[in-house]
Amino acid sequence: MMIDFMTLRADFPLLQQKNRGKPLVYLDSGATNQKPQSVIDAMNQYYISDNANIHRGVYELSERATYQYEKVRHDIKEFINAAHTEEIIFTAGTTAGINLVAQSYGRSKLKVLDEIIVSAMEHHSNIVPWQLLAEQVGANLRVVPITDNGEMDLEAYEKLFTARTKIVAIAHASNALGTINPLKQMIQIAHAHNVPVLVDGAQAFPHMPVDVQDLDCDFYTFSSHKAYGPTGVGVLYGKQKLLEKMPPYQGGGDMIESVTFARTTYSKLPFKFEAGTPNISGVIGFGAAIRYLQQVGMQNIAVHEAELLAYATQQLVTIPGLKIIGTAAEKVGVISFVLDGVHPHDIGTILDDHGIAVRAGHHCAMPVMERFNVPATVRASFGLYNTHADIDALVSGLKDVLRLFK
């Protein structure tokens, strides 16, 4: 089906506004993206007509809320092609999913001197939870280096495995460089060493079809708010046989079967990992976002964003003194760059004056900045609603930066 991406823009009410008096050009979808009307409506509708606590009421209202919440779990299972609905655990976001695995799986499996493999292109949220775990159990972090164009150094990766390697945690796509990693290959290598792999899918899930069985990853985690849904919700996918053996992460209501002071037994999956009243309206909003993505089609989105990336790359390199950081062969719609003699923060302020929202900073990936020897970069990142006109505005804004700093 052909999708006219120009018309999709109208689905996003926020994009109709102005920024500093100019039409808003939103190029920070990597941080969080804007929400279609259908997501906003679904959340409103839930509070207007269906709000009740789930999994406990005997009355119709609670059954309706429970049904809607559980239907989203089922829809996500289908969307990422998980084998079982119980493998979909609702969390507060990508960060929460990684911490869950580090503390539940990691703490029960890792011992002193064991090793955790992460890469040099990880977001802080896929580094710090592993450092905390490493401190708790006396394990060590091993870091996969990245090449000059921002790709994973696969040869070095393979050499990092030892008999002590217990888990690999890598991004599907890098938020600072845009690189899409060769996941299937990396997972096969890890599995050949009997090591499970957690994938940080925050920057990939909203931009391409994801099939967890095809990838054969052991855990895959992502955030709703980067995928056109509300903040405060995310998913951890885990293989059933791993999740079943893992101890609970947080204790509370909903995650127990019976509680006495002598002994508490835990619920089955997925509820074992969903202590307390969850973000029900958020999950329902995320469900609406998934429906929206299905209507547009992930393959269509991937093609549209790849085309935007190619156009943007081609336009940006014409700007004197501009250098793109992260030039991997396979990228999502993320362009990080620096400009000779102008600090990224100044560029961000000047672009803001043109109505353009970009990110300027270290993008929660300080090791990446260090690797490329820059204090910070400017990052333009795309969503399905971006167009060539947005990129033209960015280029014209950057020309104004050059004029000011001539």
Partner 1 sequence: MSGLRELYQEVIIDHSRQPRNFGVLLDANHHKEGFNPLCGDKLKLYVVEKNGVIEKMQFEGSGCAISVASASLMTEVMRGKTRAEVEAIFNDFHQLVTHGHNADVESRLGKLAVLAGVAEYPARVKCATLAWHTLKAAIADDPQAVSTE
Ligand X SMILES: Cc1ncc(COP(=O)(O)O)c(C=O)c1O
Q: Which residues form the catalytic set?
A: 364
Q: At 359, phi and psi to the nearest 5?
A: -100, 135
**Alpha carbons 33 and 225: distance in angstroms, whole number:** 7
Report DSSP letters for 148-195, one per residue.
Answer: TTS-B-HHHHHHH--TTEEEEEEESB-TTT-BBP-HHHHHHHHHHTT-
Distance CA 373, CA 326 (A): 13
377 contacts ligand X (rule: CB under 6 A) = no
Q: Which is nearer to partner 1, 254 or 353 (CB)?
A: 353
399 binds partner 1, rule: CB under 8 A: no
Asked if residue 397 binds partner 1 (CB under 8 A), the reply is: no
Contact range with partner 1 by CB under 8 A, out of 119-127, 129-137, 188-196, 369-377: 369-377
Residue 224: CA count within 13 A, CB half-sphere: 33
Stretch of 237-245, 301-309, 355-363, 385-393 lying at the interface with partner 1 (CB under 8 A): 355-363
**Least distance in Å: CB of 216 to ligand X?**
20
Quick check: 33 binds ligand X (CB under 6 A)?
no
Q: Which of 33, 34, 99, 125 binds ligand X (CB under 6 A)?
A: 125
Residue 175 contact partner, candidates ligand X, partner 1, none, CB within 5 to 8 A by sort of partner: ligand X
Q: Which is nearer to ligand X, 203 or 386 (CB)?
A: 203
- Contact partner, 369, from ligand X, partner 1, none, Cβ < 5-8 Å per class: partner 1
Residue 321 interacting with partner 1 (CB under 8 A): no
CB 172 within 8 A of CB 200: yes
> Burial letters for 209-238: b for 16+ Cβ neighbours within 10 Å, e otherwise?
bbebeebebbbbbbbbbbbbbbbbbbbbbb
Indicate the length of the chain as a whole number: 406
Closest alpha carbon to 158 in 179, 136, 132, 182? 182
Residue from the set 184, 375, 388, 389 that interacts with partner 1 by CB under 8 A:
375
297 binds partner 1 (CB under 8 A): no
Question: Quick one: angle between helices 60-79 and 280-296, nearest 10?
Answer: 40
Amino acid at position 93, single letter: G
Binding residues for ligand X, per CB under 6 A? Answer: 93-95, 123, 125-126, 171, 175, 200, 202-203, 223, 225, 364
Binding residues for partner 1, per CB under 8 A? Answer: 341-346, 349-350, 353, 360-362, 369, 375-376, 404-405
